[in-house]
Amino acid sequence: MKRRDFIKKAGISGVAVTGVAAPAIVHAKTSLKWKMVTTWPKNFPVLGTGANQLASLITDMTDRRIKVKVYGAGELVPAFEVFDAVSRGTAEMGHGAAYYWKGKIEEAQFFSTVPFGMNAQEMTAWLYHGGGMKLWEETYAPFGVLPAAAGNSTVQMAGWFNKEINNVNDLKGLKMRIPGLGGEVLKRAGGTPVNLPGGELFTSLKTGAIDATEWVGPYNDLAFGLYKAAKYYYYPGWHEPGTTLEAIINKKAFDTLDKDLQIIVRNACKMVNQEMSTEYTAKNNAALDTLVNKHKVDVRKLPDDVLTKLKSLSNDVVTELAGKNAAAKKIYKSYDKFRKQVAAWHEISEKIYYNIR
């Protein structure tokens, strides 16, 4: 009996004194329960399901050492309070877009999208190979938040309108849901930008509370049924040529993780970032076909003079933002340098190939 007690206390496995094999000792894994709050409607295609996918990847890849539960917009906190919730530690993670926090960190908009700026491929390259991610982390550091690219909408549509846009004057007095720098550009063109969460778009457009709205592209717009609330569907998405969506992580929670878990969380974000871009590319074309051929949507290109005016105003808006403070200047300098370099390369690679194929 004394020998058995010694073996048990010492944790020695093997063959017991009776000759029967003793069971191996199993160590229980510590499981962390994380909350992820999002700016998207619960389970909304691609955006909401992208957040779900990120949560599932982290949960599965860590072998449930981190269990992530997703809360849609309004379930735990309102859509536009996600950043504050993660900063406070109310939730360990969030999923949204940096331009939603412009009232708190104006220069953060450079990490989501810039009108007439870089597309999805170029943005991701800047973030991970052009110094953008380091600047992003510096920007969020004072708030105790760690950012990661976790999705991209690719080039969006210009939006849904209940009035025709035939010239620049048609933008005057236009009340449109449009966030970020694009909203400021519309304001300077004489319109009124409105910032609304996705779940309120259809009703606002249908009731006339707004005259127009942009959302994402054909796949998401079809899911929201926006074709039932507006007459005209305009392109191109000058305001959001490749919007980076973000996962934000409470820095204290992240720092408590073992190194292997930190690596898993970061790489899960990268996987979702790539997956979302490819999913939009695959599904937008089929959704556009449905909108045009089944629902008879009137798809139109914005007039050239309108795009020219918007581009001129965009240059003013972006330049002014870059001069707001030292941080904004530093970020834009990096962004603009990379944009010019990659544009020169894409001029003789991607662009020329699109034109000849």
With tokens 């089929």, the residue in question is 286
Question: Kind of pairing, strands 66-71 and 32-38?
Answer: parallel
- Does a structural domain hold residue 71? yes
- pTM > 0.95: yes or no: no
CB 252 within 8 A of CB 144: yes
- Does a structural domain hold residue 205? no
Per residue in 231-284, pLDDT (tens digit) is 999 999 999 999 999 999 999 999 999 999 999 999 999 999 999 999 999 999
CB 167 within 8 A of CB 306: yes
- For 216, phi then psi, to 5°, come to -135, -85
CB 43 within 8 A of CB 72: yes
**What parts of the chain have a pLDDT lower than 50?**
1-28
With tokens 């779900």, the residue in question is 52
- Does a structural domain hold residue 161? no
The span from the CA of 305 to the CA of 168, in Å, is 7
pLDDT of residue 310: 98
pLDDT of residue 76: 97
- Does a structural domain hold residue 328? no
* Structural domain count of the chain: 1
Helices 132-140/120-129 angle, 10° precision? 80
- Does a structural domain hold residue 127? yes
Count Cβ atoms below 10 Å from residue 147 Cβ, excluding itself: 23
pLDDT of residue 227: 97
CATH code for position 248: 3.40.190.170
Could you say which DSSP state residue 92 is in? S
- Assign residue 279 a region (left: φ > 0; alpha: ψ between -120 and 50; beta: otherwise): alpha
pLDDT of residue 10: 40
pLDDT of residue 198: 86
pLDDT of residue 305: 97
- Does a structural domain hold residue 8? no
Tokens of residue 38, six digits: 């999002």
Through-space distance between the first and last CA atoms of the chain, rounded to whole angstroms: 83
Domain that holds residue 256: 32-154+242-282
DSSP readout, 276-300? HHHHHHHHHHHHHHHHHHTS--EEE
- Does a structural domain hold residue 275? yes
Nearest to 177 by CA among 98, 120, 239: 239
pLDDT of residue 5: 46
pLDDT of residue 19: 42
- Does a structural domain hold residue 304? no
The span from the CA of 323 to the CA of 332, in Å, is 9
Nearest to 79 by CA among 184, 183, 198: 198
Element (H, E) at 8: helix 2-10
The span from the CA of 288 to the CA of 292, in Å, is 6
The span from the CA of 113 to the CA of 349, in Å, is 23
